[in-house]
Structure 1
Amino acid sequence: MNKNLNIPNTLSTIRAIFTIPIFILTIYNNYLWALILFIIASLTDLFDGMIARKLNQVTDLGKFIDQISDKIMINAIFVGLMQIKLIPGWFVAILISRDTFVSGIRMFLASKNIVVAANKLGKLKTVLQMSLIILLYFYGITKINLNILNEIMIYSTVTVSIISGIIYFIKSLKHFS
């Protein structure tokens, strides 16, 4: 059996190919289903990594698919939330620009067989993004005014995103020639 055709890689692939299009269809009609789908997709992200490590099924393909699936999922959700006016366009533009820049560096370095690990702020960025998405869905479902909390989360997320991107770039500089 091909070692790339394993459970963790399958979960990441399902998250990217099936979950995201269904999510995009639900965001415009039903916040509750979009939230449930987001939670399921987030859990597959958690479990694919745990399973890969536990079963010793970590592969280069899996690292790539997992990362791309996460970025597609988060960015697609933020674009959808922007379109329904739950999040500002400048925020989405900054996050997508940062992710594209960091992914570009990763791909360039990967072509030289160099891996620069994500920093702790990069992981915090992901947690903040997912927390913000849940908060925005909660607002969409309940209509409880969370403007101050939303603003704090938006600015915290974008600040951590920018700083983690800068740190990643600085860590990567030594590999450029």
Structure 2
Amino acid sequence: MNLPNKITIARICLIPIFMIFMLVPLSMGSIEISGISLPVTHAAGFIMFIIAASTDWLDGYYARKYNLVSNFGKFLDPLADKLLVTAALLTLIELQILPAWMAIVILSREFAVTGIRLVAASDGEVIAASNLGKWKTVFQMTALAVLLLDGLIFAILNIPLGMILMWIAVVLTIISGVDYFLKNKHIFKHSM
């Protein structure tokens, strides 16, 4: 197994650690920043999320730089992204920070795209993420990171930056989903 794929697997392994820190009630004290009390476990969860999200860039960098792009990596990398995004969305819903409908829009697109990828894979075709899909992922990850520290960010900036970024992410999710379906409509013709 090459280094980029190992990094991607490490990203997947960080997801349950992130969720434990964010959702399991551990009393480890809190950090005071700008008059906002942030539980230490949430700070640790945020750090786990940032590390996991940054490995997406890192595995892609090594894959391209050292010509280690593989079909396994093309399949696993987007799957790892979807797992991390799903975990963060569900965490934010549980913490009552994000409305469920936004998560449903994002997850619906992700499941639909994964379904198309699976159908394509059964025909021996591997579909890599498009540039639009990559931008969608960047905005989703950024929005999720900001929302994980929503109270703190809002206290400092006095604007709902997390929700603004999430709205952009939702719009990009819809646009990239439509683009993905249009570019891969040939898969439906072959499968029916």
TM-score category (smaller protein): 0.7 to 0.9
Partner of 1:174, secondary structure, is helix
Quick check: 2:75–2:126 contact (8 Å CA) kept in 1?
no
Corresponding residue to 2:163 among 140, 151, 159: 151
Q: Could you report, residue by residue, the CA deviation over 1:2-38 in whole angstroms, capped at 9, with x for unpaired residues? A: xxx121111111211x200000001135221111111
The structure whose Rg is larger is 2
* Match of residue 22 from structure 1: 17
The TM-score, its normalising length taken from structure 1, stands at 0.88
Distance 1:120 1:44 in 2: 18
Counterpart contact for 2:136–2:172, Cα < 8 Å: yes
Aligned residue for 2:125?
114
Is the 8 Å Cα contact of residues 153 and 161 (structure 2) preserved in structure 1?
Answer: no
1:90: Cα distance to partner? 0.6
Q: Comparing 162-171 with 48-57, which one deviates more in the overlay?
A: 48-57
Tell me by how many angstroms 1:77 deviates: 0.8
What is the correspondence of 1:119-158 to structure 2 with a 5 Å cutoff? Answer: 119-141=130-152, 144=155, 148-158=160-170
Q: Does 1:31 align with 2:27?
A: no
Contact 2:4 2:63 in 1 (8 A): yes
- RMSD after superposition: 1.9
Q: CA deviation at 1:96?
A: 0.9
Match of 1:88 among 99, 115, 120: 99
Instruction: Classify the secondary structure of the residue corresponding to 2:149.
Output: helix
CA gap of 1:97–1:146, structure 2 versus 1, over 3 A, is farther
More strand by share: 2
Structure 2 unaligned residues grouped into runs of 5+: 26-40
- 2:78 aligned residue: 67
Deviation digits for residues 104-129 of structure 1 (CA, Å, limit 9, x no counterpart): 00111121122444333211211111
- Of residues 18-27 and 118-127 in structure 1, the stretch that sits farther from structure 2 once superposed is 118-127
The CA deviation at 1:147 is 5.7
- Identify the residue that residue 5 of structure 2 maps to in structure 1: 9
Report the Cα distance in structure 2 between the residues aligned to 1:146 and 1:161, rounded to whole angstroms: 26
Aligned residue pair count = 172
Aligned residue for 2:35? none
The alignment partner of 2:110 has SS state of helix
Dislocated runs of 4+, deviation >6 Å: none
1:31–1:141 Cα contact (<8 Å) kept: no
2:173 alignment counterpart:
161
When the two structures are superposed, what TM-score results if normalisation uses the length of structure 2?
A: 0.81
User: Which residue pairs with 1:49 in the alignment?
Assistant: 60
- Distance in 2 separating the partners of 1:139 and 1:119: 29
Share of identical aligned residues, percent? 37
